[in-house]
Amino acid sequence: MTDFKTNFAGLTLRNPIIVSSSGLTNSADKNKKLAEAGAGAIVLKSLFEEQILIETDQMLTDAASYMEGTDYLQEYVRHHKLNEYLELIKSSKAVCQDVPIIASINCYSDSEWIDFAKQIEEAGADAIEVNILALQTDINYVYGSFEQRHVDILKHIKKTVKLPVIMKLGNSFTNPVALINQLYANGADAVVLFNRFYQPDIDIIKMKHAAGPILSSSNELPNSLRWIGIASAVVDKIDYAASGGVQSPQDVVKTLLAGASAVQVCSIIYKKSDTEIRKMLTFLGTWMQDNGFERINQFKGRLNHKNVKNANYFERTQFLKYFSANK
């Protein structure tokens, strides 16, 4: 008999399928349906630091003339948004029973509003996912400062709460392994690889900027497989989840073999429906039985880079083999 339970960020999930932060998870009713569809955990739609500032600006007609009003409105919007989010946590927890509810904070500064994490904890969230997604484009950028910002924000939150803290990383770091090691050393319970930047495009008829593909595709999964495979072999005391490109039941198995404890899904549910969760679990169960596995821990990380002494050499060798065979 197969057991789908997996440990992720100090939480015991009934299965490794996590629905990631999105419009799919912005209400208790939606989250209840996802739990009934089989989700192992649910990450609530993110609370964006910028959202508070943008909505304040929209409410002001002349910010330069009303600086005191600006401060008042910003605090009003902040208070309103935070209360809405706390209610989402409470109502989702009430209807999702044994499915962990993970709050999500999307921020870019180590500001005092992160202290809201304490209220998230008090509202009953099972963990906090922190997303610090930003492009570094300053010509005077100091190398390593963006990585340090991740560590500083993590340390700030860990001083505030006892909840598990999950760091969701972008895919533009030179060395994710070094950053993950620093995050682990400073108390991170898990990392998610990777977040997805807005995809830009250009409309050559209108000569305007346009949005590229909104939903992820299977082409994005290999990058997560590579870095989970490398990182889980050398920073093995922290949990990993893949995000972006998990489109099929087979992708779930691949990700677990690479060393992840869980996968985050979103786009495939948008494209089809939440019935994809059950299809993934059915396939996973059949695959485990066919290969003689009763528990996920029996094969998790079996194909990571643990036995590869030099990951860079390994990747370069595979590159040569591939292109030599496909001239």
Give Cα 197 distance to the centre of its chain. 12
Q: Which two tokens stand for residue 2?
A: 């197969």
How many other CB atoms sit within 10 Å of the CB of residue 220? Answer: 19
Does the pLDDT value for residue 141 go beyond 60?
yes
**Averaged over 208-231, what is the pLDDT?**
92
Answer whether the bond into residue 116 is a cis peptide, omega within 30°.
no
Which carries the bigger pLDDT value, residue 56 or residue 154?
154
**Averaged over 48-55, what is the pLDDT?**
63
**Averaged over 167-172, what is the pLDDT?**
94
Q: What is the pLDDT, as a whole number, of residue 69?
A: 56
Nearest to 147 by CA among 114, 181, 197: 181
pLDDT above 90 covers a percentage of the chain that reads: 70
Task: Judge whether 272 and 278 are in contact, CB under 8 Å.
Answer: no
Q: What Rg value do the Cα atoms of the chain yield, rounded?
A: 21
**Averaged over 271-293, what is the pLDDT?**
98
Q: What is the pLDDT, as a whole number, of residue 145?
A: 93
**Averaged over 78-91, what is the pLDDT?**
89
Q: How confident is the model at residue 308 (pLDDT cuts 50, 70, 90)?
A: confident
Beta bridge partners of residue 12, listed in sequence order: 7
Q: What is the pLDDT, as a whole number, of residue 81?
A: 80
**Averaged over 266-286, what is the pLDDT?**
98
Mean pLDDT (the chain, rounded) = 89
Q: What is the pLDDT, as a whole number, of residue 132?
A: 87
Q: What is the pLDDT, as a whole number, of residue 253?
A: 98
Class of the CATH domain delimited by 6-325: alpha beta
Burial string for 54-67 (b: 16+ CB within 10 Å, else e) reads: ebbeeeeeeeeeee
Nearest to 17 by CA among 263, 272, 278, 245: 263
Q: What is the pLDDT, as a whole number, of residue 54?
A: 58
Q: What is the pLDDT, as a whole number, of residue 287?
A: 98
d(CA 92, CA 90): 6
Q: What is the pLDDT, as a whole number, of residue 327?
A: 60
Q: For the chain, which residues make up each domain, given as ranges?
A: 6-325
Three-state SS string across the chain, please?
A: CCECCEEECCEEECCCEEECCCHHHCCHHHHHHHHHCCCCEEECCCEEHHHHHHHHHHHCCCHHHCHHHHHHHHHHHHHHHHHHHHHHHHHHHHHHCCCCEEEEEECCCCCHHHHHHHHHHHHCCCEEEEECCCCCCCCCCCCCHHHHHHHHHHHHHHHHCCCCEEEEECCCCCCHHHHHHHHHHCCCCEEEECCCCCCEEEECCCCEEEECCCCCCHHHHHHHHHHHHHHHHHCCCCEEEEECCCCCHHHHHHHHHHCCCEEEECHHHHHCCCHHHHHHHHHHHHHHHHCCCCEHHHCCCCCCHHHCCCHHHHHHHHHHHHHHHCC
Question: What is the length of the chain?
Answer: 327
| Angle, helix 67-96 to helix 28-36, in steps of 10 degrees | 30
